[in-house]
Structure 1
Amino acid sequence: MALDVLVASVLIHLMPDQVPVHFNGANEPDRLGSKYEFLVAILFPLCGVFVVMGSKNAPIGKERRWAWGAVAFEVFVLGWILFYLTKALLYDGAPFPEPDLDASRWAAVIGGALCVVAGNLMPKADRNPFFGLRTPWSEASPETWRRSQRLGGYAGVATGFAMIVLGLVLPARLVTPAVLLVLLAGFAAAIVGSYVIYRQELGKQ
């Protein structure tokens, strides 16, 4: 967390006063603003505190999993900081040319990779208030939780790979809407699936 805050602080200090603070789907800056708007980037690493707090309530033997979750979160935040703040740093007005980066593609690939990782972790997750497919139906019993997390894991992995492929092959202007549709479809499938599992377990009783 300290490394993330340090990197963000240094990059903001090196920026010109006016930088692009938002990019459209075509990777073109559509709003300029003060570099100090990026101070919000320093807050994101601190969200890792909540992951660390969650580890204190983790069941015995599960602390390592929570620790790796905190590491993965901070690595993702560091990647986000390096991508967006470096892009603003190298924009016109800085001593370097603007890099040829496509935010929508990178967001799709990174987001897809996180979905794949989360999908692989979900079937191993015990019942907890922070992580997993948490619906009124999945939490109805230990068995509905176990089956729902397995289903959610499959949905997460499939959604993640689809996001990565779409981010790499589609035209830039289509990446964001396509990825949003895939995410919505994945969420819907997981939620509906947890309800179906709940009804199946209810029928067995």
Structure 2
Amino acid sequence: MKSRIYMSVLALITIGIGVWGHFHLPDTLPIHWNWQGEVDGYGSKYSVIFGFPIIAVVLYVMRVATPKLDPRKENYEKFKGSYAVIMNTLFTFFVIMYGIVILNGAGYEIDVNTIMPVLVGLLFIILGNYMQRLKSNYFIGVRTPWALHNDEVWRYTNRVGARTFVIAGVVLIAAAFVPASWKVSLFIGAVVLAAVVPVAASYLYFRKLSR
């Protein structure tokens, strides 16, 4: 996971999926589903075939460029293993999504309503497990103004963020197996937990240290 070879291999797989899709996809295909599993967005074949590889290229460039552009670049050496896992996990997630969209568009029956919450939940859990290992930087982690101002606040904020991300991931996985009427509520709860709680905790801890 620490090697760029992993992302390079996935990039080749993405190209292979796109080439296969070129010969098997209709001109228009579903690209987005709501929480009831109903299609609520369509895209052209070529926007799908080329769109995801473009995202893959952007992620690869980000992985290489971010440690060089960050004003706190010296900290990346301290968490380079975690950084590699996080970037590779994001890359893997997008490749899997790409495959799901292509296969679904080609006529294969895929239970997107179950698979997607599980995938997003697993993504949150993995990110949460590595988030607390991050050192202060401007690109990755819970980067509140108070955390960037104080290393102790950074550690506290990202420890809280790690826990809330893992819990949110479990909630999202659970959302895959509950009635459709519950899914939106669970999704909103997971987002609030992962996005709002760490920010609030960061501010309150900063205030506590200031006093």
TM-score for both structures, normalised by structure 2: 0.81
| 1:87-136 per-position Cα deviation (integer Å, ceiling 9, x unaligned) | 0111xxxxxxx4141x2332211111111111111211000111111111
Quote the residue 1:109 is aligned against: 118
1:28 counterpart residue number:
38
The answer on 1:62 being equivalent to 2:73 is no
Aligned partner of 1:158 in structure 2 is 167
Say if 2:164 and 2:194, in contact at 8 Å, map to a contact too.
yes
Letter paired with 1:88: G
Aligned length: 194
Task: Tell me how large the CA RMSD over aligned residues is.
Answer: 2.2
**Higher percent of residues as helix:** 2
Which residue of structure 1 aligns with residue 54 of structure 2?
43
- Consecutive unaligned residues of structure 2, counting only runs of 5 or more, are 1-10
* CA–CA separation in structure 2 for the residues paired with 1:149 and 1:46: 28
8 A Cα contact 1:133 1:190, kept in partner: yes
Counterpart contact for 1:21–1:37, Cα < 8 Å = no
Deviation at 1:55, TM superposition (A): 4.0
Cα distance, 1:33 vs structure 2: 5.0
Q: TM (normalized to structure 1)? A: 0.83
Cα drift, residue 32 of structure 1: 5.1
Distance 2:77 2:186 in 1: 41
- Displacement of 1:61 in angstroms is 4.8
Q: Residues 125 and 163 of structure 1: is their aligned pair in 2 closer, same or farther, counting only changes over 3 Å?
A: same
Between structure 1 and structure 2, the one with the greater Rg is 1
Corresponding position of 1:184: 192
The answer to whether the 8 Å contact 1:52/1:66 transfers is: no
Distance 1:21-1:33 versus aligned 2 partners, 3 A rule:
same
Question: Percent of pairs identical after alignment?
Answer: 22
- Alpha carbons of 1:5 and 1:201: their partners in 2 closer, same or farther (altered >3 Å)? farther
Determine the structure 1 residue equivalent to 2:210: 202
Give the C-alpha shift of residue 188 in structure 1.
Answer: 1.3
Decide which of 13, 35, 58 is 2:23's aligned counterpart.
13
* More deviation, 190-199/7-16: 7-16
Contact 1:52-1:67 within 8 A present in 2 as well: no
1:68-107 correspondence to structure 2 within 5 Å: 68-90=85-107, 98-101=108-111, 103-107=112-116
